[in-house]
Amino acid sequence: MKKILLLSAAAFITAGLLSYTFKTPEPQPLTPECYISCYTAETRDLIQADAAKPGFAALHPYPKKINFINALGTMVQFKAADGSNAQGYLIKAKKKTNKWLFVIQEWWGLNDNIKNEADKFSTELGDVNVLALDMYDGKVAATPDSAMVYMRNAKADRLEAIVKAGLAFAGTDAKIYTVGWCFGGGWSLQATILAGKQAAGCVMYYGRPETNTEKLKTINCDVIGFFGTKDQGIKIEAVDAFEQNMKAAGKNISVYKYEAGHGFANPSNPVYNKEATEDSHAKTIAFLKERIK
């Protein structure tokens, strides 16, 4: 009996050891390098997924308060295709025109900084309606944590619906120009793609480029982009690939690179680079004026 008990105990221990030895290892999370290259999602989904990437929030320190007074525009609502409301900050041109500039926010939301930028574009460009789209449906972040939540919850289908609602609000005969920063830089290009034949000019500030060359072939306007060589969010290698893909697709693109980090053109960002901002802004205004006239 004793031998039987000993043999049973030995068999139980052996089985346990074999089970531990051949246990399926825990799956490992993707490395930051593989996060993009191994994830075969559409670019617009990757823009949303950027908010979950390690270190992305660190590229966006707490914003400094902008002194925004005497706003030129007002908030307006317009219907989206799904029947819900979309909204934006609108500055109408003094004279009736079919030219529209869509201004697209950073990951913070449609805050005073973006409204101030919209006002500046309206003043400098003149003959154009300026519409700063509210991509977060009224939510504005004051901290990196809340911005991360809002950006992660901004589903691509809803963002597309907002852009299309803006296009419908502008009208079928409208000429559409777009400009955006960071999250909005990526969506400036996506909005241009959605605008189709109405697209008339696209400005990107350190936004995620589109990698699908078939989509790039559908772009119907010139594109200008501004990027930072020190940007750890949108790496310069991705920018170089974007430039090559655009040229391979037969599209006109101008890319400018500055010794600056992510968010260099945002005066509320501690990494704000005055020299790079002034140069890129001058190039942006010249680019838009040439195409708006």
Q: Using pLDDT thresholds of 50, 70 and 90, give the confidence band for residue 189.
A: very high
* Dist. CA 76–CA 81, nearest whole Å: 17
Best CA proximity match to 122, nearest among 114, 132, 130: 130
- Domain 43-292 classified CATH 1.20.1260.10? no
pLDDT in tens, 127-167: 999 999 999 999 999 999 999 999 999 999 999 999 999 99
Task: Reply yes or no on whether the pLDDT at 20 is more than 70.
Answer: no
Our CA angle for 149, 212, 289, nearest 5°, is 80
Distances from the Cα of 255 to the Cα of 103, 170, 224, 283, angstroms: 19, 28, 6, 11
* Dist. CA 105–CA 135, nearest whole Å: 7
Q: Kindly state the tokens that stand for 113.
A: 């900084």
Task: Give me the pLDDT at residue 27, please.
Answer: 43
pLDDT in tens, 33-81: 443 344 446 998 999 889 888 788 888 887 777 778 889 999 999 999 8
Q: Kindly state the tokens that stand for 236.
A: 């310069």
What global pTM score does this model have? 0.85
Task: Reply yes or no on whether the pLDDT at 215 is more than 50.
Answer: yes
Burial of 138 (0-12, 13-18, 19+ CB in 10 A): exposed
Where b means 16+ CB within 10 Å and e means fewer, 94-124 reads eeeeebbbbbbbbbbbbbbbbbbbbbebbee
Percentage with pLDDT > 90 across the chain: 73
Task: Give me the pLDDT at residue 222, please.
Answer: 98
How much is the mean pLDDT over the chain? Answer: 88
pLDDT in tens, 117-129: 999 999 999 999 9
Mean pLDDT of all residues in 193-220: 97
Q: Kindly state the tokens that stand for 238.
A: 């991705």
* Dist. CA 46–CA 240, nearest whole Å: 18
Domain ranges for the chain, please list them.
43-292
Best CA proximity match to 274, nearest among 284, 285, 260: 260
Q: What is the three-class DSSP state of 250?
A: coil
Q: Higher-confidence residue: 57 or 210?
A: 210
